[in-house]
């Protein structure tokens, strides 16, 4: 008796997890990056900021040399900014130790390139399976997931074909399957339509848009292609390393 505590006031109760504000999916804050070539100092990005709060298709637009690939390299933690921060899901990428980088990229990121970059000696299926190698899955599970992902991108009928036996658009579909099979939060794409004719480019963009919605994957796409900018939910426009839109 006499030890009863007064009930805690509502203000002192811990916040329920659901009401805790979520960090942005991607936050780029006052990022500056320069390169040095001998005595020359090349400023590639100056005081760049933007953030993405929902799984979106984000276009990074701007002329050649404006800093698009530099930005993608920072997002993939291939490089770190001189100043400012890049955070994915609230994690400052500069804080990831070199030993933890492979694990970070395997878990969070997928990559799509202009040249597709599939391994020429492997079949479509083997290229996609290979992306699951770091995961603790049986061979059968890897195969099953790779086939399901290839079916999802419309390539279920070309599993045994090697990249050289596929059209450019088909290779890019396989590359997209490879990027997404591990269900990353982010796919980073540098000019994914740059090597495709206009009709095929439109089909690939349609596929990216569908996958963004059905898999809740954020796509960050560096591009000159006005169709990508039309389709994107956000456009970050760069000129000489600065944000102009």
Ligand X SMILES: Nc1ncnc2c1ncn2[C@@H]1O[C@H](COP(=O)(O)OP(=O)(O)OP(=O)(O)O)[C@@H](O)[C@H]1O
Residues at the contact surface with Mg ion, assessed by CB under 5 A:
68-69
Chosen residue from 25, 52, 61, 68 binding ligand X by CB under 6 A: 68
The answer for 75, left when phi > 0, alpha when psi is -120 to 50, beta otherwise, is: alpha
Figure out which of the listed residues 24, 65, 156, 168 binds ligand X, where binding follows CB under 6 A: 65
Look up tokens 């390139």; give the residue: 113
Under a CB-based contact definition with an 8 Å cutoff, are residues 124 and 155 in contact? yes
Q: How far is the CB of 204 from ligand X (least distance, A)?
A: 18
Region 190-219 residues binding ligand X, contact defined as CB under 6 A: none
The residues near 223 (Cβ < 8 Å, ≥ 6 apart) are 59, 60, 61, 68, 191, 192, 193, 194, 229
User: Which listed residue (59, 66, 179, 219) binds ligand X by CB under 6 A?
Assistant: 66
Indicate the residue among 68 and 145 with the shorter CB distance to ligand X.
Answer: 68
Contact between 160 and ligand X per CB under 6 A: no
Binding flag, residue 23, ligand X (CB under 6 A): no
User: Residue 66 has which token pair?
Assistant: 């404006």
Regarding 39 and contact with ligand X (CB under 6 A), the answer is no
Per CB under 6 A, which region of 13-21, 34-42, 48-56, 156-164 contacts ligand X?
34-42
Q: Is 81 in the site for ligand X (CB under 6 A)?
A: no
Q: Which of 30, 35, 133, 144 binds ligand X (CB under 6 A)?
A: 35
Residue whose CB is less far from ligand X, 66 or 217: 66
How far is Cα 169 from Cα 200, in angstroms, rounded to an integer? 6
The reply on whether position 70 binds ligand X by CB under 6 A is yes
Q: Interface with ligand X includes 69 (CB under 6 A)?
A: yes
CA nearest to 183, candidates 140, 137, 231: 137
**In this chain, which of 44, 58, 109, 132 binds ligand X, going by CB under 6 A?**
44
Q: What is the 3-state secondary structure (H, E, C) of 43-65?
A: EEEEEEEEEECCCCEEEEECCCC
Residue 42 or 54 with smaller CB distance to Mg ion: 42
Query: Using CA atoms, how far apart are residues 226 and 223, in angstroms rounded to an integer?
Result: 8
Instruction: Report how far residue 111's alpha carbon sits from residue 73's, in angstroms, rounded to the nearest whole number.
Output: 11
Instruction: Give the nearest distance from C-beta 190 to ligand X in angstroms.
Output: 7
| Cα–Cα distance measured from residue 180 to residue 217, given in angstroms and rounded to the nearest whole number | 8
> Using CB under 6 A as the criterion, which residues of the chain lie in contact with ligand X when the complex forms?
35, 37, 42, 44, 62, 64-70
């Amino acid at each position: 008796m006499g030890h009863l505590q007064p009930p805690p006031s509502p203000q002192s109760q811990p916040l329920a997890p659901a009401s805790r504000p979520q960090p942005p999916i991607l936050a780029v804050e006052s990022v500056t990056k320069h390169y040095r070539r001998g005595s020359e100092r090349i400023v590639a990005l100056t005081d760049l900021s933007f953030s993405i709060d929902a799984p979106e298709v984000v276009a990074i637009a701007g002329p050649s040399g404006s800093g698009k690939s530099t930005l993608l390299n920072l997002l993939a933690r291939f490089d770190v900014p001189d100043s400012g921060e890049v955070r994915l899901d609230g994690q400052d990428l500069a804080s990831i130790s070199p030993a933890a980088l492979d694990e970070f990229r395997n878990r969070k990121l997928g990559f799509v390139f202009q040249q597709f970059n599939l391994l020429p000696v492997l079949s479509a299926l083997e290229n996609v399976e290979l992306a699951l190698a770091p995961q603790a899955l049986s061979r059968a599970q890897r195969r099953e997931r790779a086939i399901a992902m290839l079916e999802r991108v419309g390539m279920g009928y070309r599993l045994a074909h090697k990249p050289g036996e596929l059209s450019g658009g088909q290779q890019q579909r396989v590359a997209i399957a490879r990027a997404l099979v591990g269900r990353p939060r982010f796919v980073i794409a540098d000019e994914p339509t740059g090597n495709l004719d206009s009709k095929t480019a439109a089909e690939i963009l349609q596929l990216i848009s569908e996958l963004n919605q059905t898999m809740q994957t954020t796509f960050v796409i560096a591009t000159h292609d006005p169709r990508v900018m039309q389709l994107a939910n956000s456009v970050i426009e760069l000129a000489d390393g600065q944000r102009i839109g």
